[in-house]
């Protein structure tokens, strides 16, 4: 399961500047449960990478209390039935749970499907579970990050946000059970500090971002640290339109090599419009100067693969990859079609791309979540493309769900998978599954 897609935009972390009147809070406590069962084909991740067959059972149980609390737990249990490349270790576990799903502490994080405490427009917010397109601040370090790209590594991440007067503090952990990626942002609202006029509030934002990956779970990789300093200014703001200018400088915080310029700078513009209540569109465009062992959006959509091989399947890890000093252009667009009633279309789509002038390298990423009218059919798609003009790597995940009866639905999924190997390279494979599910809520 891919998980719910987040609308990743540069204004994602400035909620108070564009907040609608909150919907009435849901009252009471609601429980929900579901059970999915089906057949799954998954590459073995060994040797010739043959295709293994599994029976998959996925129980889930959740509770929701109004708009400020939600918790869901459960995990897919995959029992191996067909082993195309049996090793002694696998043979000993034939007919049992897939060992790779539970062979490190981080894998037990997958039991937490979702945890949410606090409202999006509240003073304190906590989220935990899987993250598919998560962005820290304006995305200068962590941008559209996905912590569940590996088929053998299933961490639960966590994100905490607190507003304290004119400051906003956010911390993030990609894996709460291991020493992996930790990131944080301290943001100061200069308008609230320098003025007592409401028109200056949430308009001039100074932020400091830091991120560090210990690289000690889901496979061992070189550690990586980076930091950035950024400024955002709201030039135009209304109920239907916003225009922001932004600039930042960033650098590696763990390399001191004089011959390699491990730093960069960027300047750009963000535009957001809401022409009507059912449509929300955001666009972002930046010009960047970067090189050496630093680039903006370091911890991006494909980072969980790039930390083993920056591009392709057996290249240098991203932490050690040296990028020639270059200019690049980065663009991102996100759109949401918001249903006004259950019979309307619901759509969330976002895409980003970066072109490096000197090398001609192209990276791209797209995410889609679609609810067809009637709310019986739901589709999700994630495509991550790395170095299309050099050593390309393609990551695709798709899922389709259709409800046949009030409590019965079908599931179809498929995509590519990459298995980190002991030698440090990636082994490409694919997966596909078909199943049915039952659910209820009260």
Distance, first Cα to last Cα, the chain: 24
CB atoms within 10 A of CB 404: 10
Measured CA to CA in angstroms, residue 58 lies from 1, 78, 146 at distances of 10, 8, 21
pTM exceeds 0.85, yes or no: yes
pLDDT at residue 29 is higher than 60:
yes
Mean pLDDT in residue range 172-196: 95
**What's the pLDDT score for residue 94?**
61
Confidence band, pLDDT 50/70/90 cuts, at residue 11: very low
Express each pLDDT in 51-86 by its tens digit.
999 999 999 999 999 889 999 999 999 999 988 876
pLDDT at residue 15 is higher than 60:
no
Express each pLDDT in 299-333 by its tens digit.
999 999 999 999 999 999 999 998 888 899 999 99
**Rounded-to-integer distance, Cα 64 and Cα 58, Å:** 20
Which residue has better confidence, 23 or 441?
441
pLDDT at residue 22 is higher than 60:
no
**What's the pLDDT score for residue 16?**
31
- Largest Cα separation within the chain, whole Å, is 71
pLDDT at residue 395 is higher than 90:
yes
Average pLDDT of the chain? Answer: 89
Measured CA to CA in angstroms, residue 49 lies from 43, 257, 268, 394, 431 at distances of 6, 40, 44, 17, 12
Confidence band, pLDDT 50/70/90 cuts, at residue 151: very high
**What's the pLDDT score for residue 222?**
93
**Rounded-to-integer distance, Cα 260 and Cα 263, Å:** 9
Helices and strands of the chain, counted as H and E runs: 3, 21
The number of residues in the chain equals 442
pLDDT at residue 2 is higher than 70:
no
pLDDT at residue 9 is higher than 70:
no
Confidence band, pLDDT 50/70/90 cuts, at residue 27: low
**What's the pLDDT score for residue 92?**
46
Lowest average pLDDT, out of 133-137, 209-213, 287-291, 342-346, goes to: 342-346
pLDDT at residue 203 is higher than 60:
yes
pLDDT at residue 8 is higher than 50:
no
Q: Report the DSSP beta bridge partners of residue 160.
A: 126, 171
**What's the pLDDT score for residue 13?**
35
Confidence band, pLDDT 50/70/90 cuts, at residue 261: low
Rg, Å, the chain Cα set: 22
Question: Which of 417, 414, 408 has the alpha carbon at shortest distance from 433?
Answer: 414
Express each pLDDT in 229-254 by its tens digit.
999 999 998 889 999 999 999 999 88
Mean pLDDT in residue range 349-370: 96
**What's the pLDDT score for residue 47?**
82
**What's the pLDDT score for residue 125?**
96
Question: Which of 398, 420, 427, 421 has the alpha carbon at shortest distance from 411?
Answer: 398
pLDDT at residue 377 is higher than 90:
yes
Mean pLDDT in residue range 267-285: 95
Express each pLDDT in 420-436 by its tens digit.
998 889 999 999 999 99
Q: Are 328 and 354 in contact (CB under 8 A)?
A: yes
């Amino acid at each position: 399961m891919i998980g719910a897609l987040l609308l990743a935009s540069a204004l994602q972390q400035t909620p108070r500047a564009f907040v609608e009147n909150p919907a009435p809070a849901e009252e009471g406590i609601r429980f929900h449960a579901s059970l999915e069962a089906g057949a799954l084909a998954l590459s073995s991740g060994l040797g010739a990478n043959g295709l293994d067959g599994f029976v998959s059972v996925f129980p889930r149980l959740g509770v929701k209390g109004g708009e400020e609390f939600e918790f869901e737990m459960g995990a897919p249990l995959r029992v191996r039935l067909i082993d195309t490349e049996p090793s002694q270790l696998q043979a000993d576990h034939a007919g049992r749970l897939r060992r790779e799903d539970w062979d490190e502490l981080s894998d037990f994080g997958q039991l937490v499907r979702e945890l949410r405490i606090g409202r999006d427009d509240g003073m304190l917010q906590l989220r935990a579970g899987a993250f598919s397109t998560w962005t820290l601040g304006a995305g200068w370090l962590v941008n559209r990050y996905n912590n569940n790209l590996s088929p053998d590594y299933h961490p639960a991440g966590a994100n905490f946000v607190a507003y304290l007067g004119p400051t906003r503090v956010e911390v993030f952990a990609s894996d709460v059970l291991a020493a992996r990626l930790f990131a944080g942002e301290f943001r100061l609202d200069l308008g609230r500090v320098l003025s007592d006029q409401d028109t200056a509030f949430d308009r001039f934002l100074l932020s400091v971002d830091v991120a560090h990956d210990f690289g000690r779970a889901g496979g061992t990789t070189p550690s990586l640290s980076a930091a950035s300093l950024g400024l955002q200014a709201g030039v135009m703001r209304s109920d239907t339109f916003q225009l922001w200018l932004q600039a930042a400088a960033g650098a590696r915080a763990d390399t001191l090599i004089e011959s390699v310029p491990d730093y960069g700078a960027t300047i750009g513009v963000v535009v957001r419009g809401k022409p009507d209540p059912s449509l929300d569109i955001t666009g972002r465009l930046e010009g960047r100067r970067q090189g050496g062992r630093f680039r903006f959006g370091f911890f991006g959509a494909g980072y969980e693969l790039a930390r083993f091989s920056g591009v392709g399947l057996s290249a240098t890890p991203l932490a050690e990859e040296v990028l020639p000093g270059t200019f690049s252009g980065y663009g991102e667009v996100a759109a949401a079609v918001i249903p006004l009633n259950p019979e309307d279309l619901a759509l969330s789509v976002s895409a980003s791309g970066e072109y490096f002038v000197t090398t001609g390298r192209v990276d791209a990423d797209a995410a889609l979540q679609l609810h067809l009218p009637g709310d019986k059919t739901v589709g999700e798609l994630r495509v991550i493309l790395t170095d299309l003009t050099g050593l390309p790597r393609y990551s695709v995940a798709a899922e389709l769900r259709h409800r046949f009866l009030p409590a019965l639905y079908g599931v179809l999924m498929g995509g590519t998978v990459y298995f980190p190997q002991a030698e440090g390279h990636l082994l490409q494979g694919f997966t596909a599954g078909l199943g049915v599910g039952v659910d209820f809520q009260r």
